Amino acid sequence: MLSNVQSLCRKYTNLAATDIEKLLELEATLTYYAELTDCYMFIDCMLENLPHAIVVAEAFPKKEIGLYEKSVIGKFVFESFEPAVFAAFKHKEKSSISRAVTQEGITVEQYVVPIFNEQQQVIAVLIQEKMVRMQTTPKDDFHNMPFALIEHIVEPNSQPMPVVSDLLVESIILTNHENKVIYSNPAGYHFISELSGLENFDNVALDKILPFLQEVYDQGDDVFFLEITIDRKSFIVKKIPIRSQYDKVTLLIIHDLTELKLKENELMMKTFAIREIHHRVKNNLQTVTSLLRLQMRNDSSAANASAFQEALNRIYSISSVYELILENEENAEEKVDVIALAKKIGHKMIGTSNTARIQLAFHHHNIQLFCHSKKAVSLALIICELLQNALKYAFIGCEEGIIDIQFLQEDSDIALHISDNGVGMQEVKASFGMEMITRLVEYDLAGSFSIIPSEEGTHTRIQFPVSEEVFIVNG
């Protein structure tokens, strides 16, 4: 049976077998270190695909008052709460912090040492934690505190409860009238330390070590928001002036947007790439269309000309999907207006057919029906095929006719009716077109296709469910 170290490292990290073996050897000594120092000992490893760490081993001193009520093996560790852990991974050297927040929300002193493999790569960190003890603060001095964010009154030798700001991912920083830091939560400490390169910034004006905050302080007593990008990091800084009878205090709330910006850029690049693919698909379809038309001109057979035109109609119906997507540059979701698609295909096919005076009628009852590109291609081919059949067979010997295209919402389904007032279908014959319609409806749309008996002409019905990929807007 695998140990916790082996199973967690194999599941969440990319550590080699020799690295895991080294951690197993270290785990065997953790209990001795814990008893020797009266501290809690842990081994943390970085996750393979996330910017977090995971606890893979632990050891507790027997006589120490319980710092943790439950085992934390397998728990994720976040940089905002335990910056010293991540500093040891990044800088490959030991680090410490006088106030970290544990998995159970308890404030501890934390000392961290990186663990190296034979290639001098940091494979994990060894962590020593000791409970922070606080003496009673004279109550007479509490009027000097700007407000209750800073600390709580505690009994002698008792564990201070972490303030709410200690549990936040956002950086919370308080500065006095000289812009010197008088309080920061763990995330705020990490923010200042990372950007200034300083471990200790007592009695140093914040705008001096972080000059980009000067604009924030220059705004005087106004509440102020500022988005800042520096060293490839993006932040929103909110400044709130706080006045008391004793001091002028400034509260800074800083939200790190770096990861969000990176994801936005990645999404934008993917959107550009997808649109470029759509352009190329559309251009390639136009090239295929041109080649078919050239071949069509060189072939005088009427039967072949009909087959060529059917192929051209199918290609045009697919191309129409990409044209509608590309018409809207802000269409990041690749939504296709199904009603507009049906009209586009229908009018094009009427215009290129040799059938005399055929009119199209559209009824959608104010339904705004949209679908994603894959479903749109299937719908385009289905509409194209049904219109081709109507134009080819419905009006033989007729001088004029009407093809009616109707979209209806039926509970959680969409029904597409295509009917004509032509000569009607005597019998349903197996054909490539009918097989294609049936397969597209059943497999791509998860719907059903039927031919409805009609006193006049032919009436076909496609029914398919509304889903994440087929949806109604304001319907």
The DSSP code sequence of 67-85 is S-SS--TT-EE-TTT-HHH
For the record, the structure tokens of 469 come out as 């990929």
The predicted-structure confidence for 170-197, as pLDDT tens digits, reads as follows 888 888 888 888 888 888 888 888 888 8
Q: Give every CB contact of residue 283 below 8 A, 6+ residues apart in sequence.
A: none
Q: pLDDT-derived band of residue 371, with 50, 70 and 90 as boundaries?
A: very high
Helix 186-196 and helix 83-91, axial crossing angle in degrees, nearest 10: 30
Statement to judge: residues 346 and 455 lie in one domain: yes
> 131, 154, 180: which is the final residue of a domain?
131
pTM over 0.75? The answer is no
The DSSP code sequence of 402-429 is EEEEEEEEETTEEEEEEEE-SS--SSPP
Q: What is the mean pLDDT of residues 31-49?
A: 90
Q: Residue 284 domain-assigned?
A: no
Q: Helix count (H) and strand count (E) of the chain?
A: 12, 19
Statement to judge: residues 156 and 65 lie in one domain: no
Q: The domain spanning residue 447 has which CATH number? A: 3.30.565.10
> What angle (nearest 5°) sits at the alpha carbon of residue 426, between those of residues 353 and 394?
15
Statement to judge: residues 82 and 202 lie in one domain: no
Alpha-carbon distance of 214 to 424, in angstroms, equals 80
- pLDDT higher than 60, residue 223: yes
Residues in the chain: 475
Statement to judge: residues 126 and 10 lie in one domain: yes
Identity at 182, one-letter amino acid code: I
Q: Residue 370 domain-assigned?
A: yes
Q: What is the mean pLDDT of residues 223-248?
A: 77
Q: pLDDT-derived band of residue 169, with 50, 70 and 90 as boundaries?
A: confident
User: At 108, which helix (H) or strand (E)?
Assistant: strand 107-116
Q: What is the pLDDT of residue 246?
A: 62
CA of 472: how far to CAs of 87, 173, 202, 338, 445, in Å?
50, 47, 59, 10, 15
Number of domains present in the structure of the chain: 3
Alpha-carbon distance of 135 to 131, in angstroms, equals 13
Identity at 60, one-letter amino acid code: F
Would you call 267 helix, strand, or coil by DSSP?
helix
Q: Residue 180 domain-assigned?
A: yes
Q: pLDDT-derived band of residue 66, with 50, 70 and 90 as boundaries?
A: low
Would you call 251 helix, strand, or coil by DSSP?
strand
Q: Residue 434 domain-assigned?
A: yes
Higher pLDDT, 282 or 348: 348
Which domain, by its residues, includes 327?
A: 323-473
Q: What is the pLDDT of residue 115?
A: 94
Q: What is the mean pLDDT of residues 333-346?
A: 89
The DSSP code sequence of 448-460 is EEEEE--SSS-EE
Statement to judge: residues 125 and 150 lie in one domain: no
Q: Which residues pair with 470 in a beta bridge?
A: 371
Q: Residue 281 domain-assigned?
A: no
Q: Residue 293 domain-assigned?
A: no
Would you call 472 helix, strand, or coil by DSSP?
strand
> 202, 223, 256: which is the final residue of a domain?
256
Statement to judge: residues 427 and 354 lie in one domain: yes
Task: Yes or no: say if 99 and 109 are a contact pair by the CB < 8 Å rule.
Answer: yes
**Which alpha helices (DSSP H) does 1-61 contain, by range?**
4-12, 17-27, 30-37
For the record, the structure tokens of 464 come out as 């398919």
Q: Residue 261 domain-assigned?
A: no
Alpha-carbon distance of 143 to 247, in angstroms, equals 11
Q: The domain spanning residue 67 has which CATH number? A: 3.30.450.280
Alpha-carbon distance of 274 to 277, in angstroms, equals 5
Q: What is the pLDDT of residue 140?
A: 45
The predicted-structure confidence for 448-471, as pLDDT tens digits, reads as follows 999 988 888 899 999 999 988 888
In 157-196, which positions are buried (b, 16+ CB within 10 angstroms) versus exposed (e)?
eebbebbebbebebbbbbbbeebbbbbbbbbbbbbbbbbe
Statement to judge: residues 206 and 93 lie in one domain: no
Q: The domain spanning residue 164 has which CATH number? A: 3.30.450.20
Statement to judge: residues 252 and 226 lie in one domain: yes
Statement to judge: residues 461 and 365 lie in one domain: yes
Statement to judge: residues 466 and 365 lie in one domain: yes
> 205, 226, 256: which is the final residue of a domain?
256
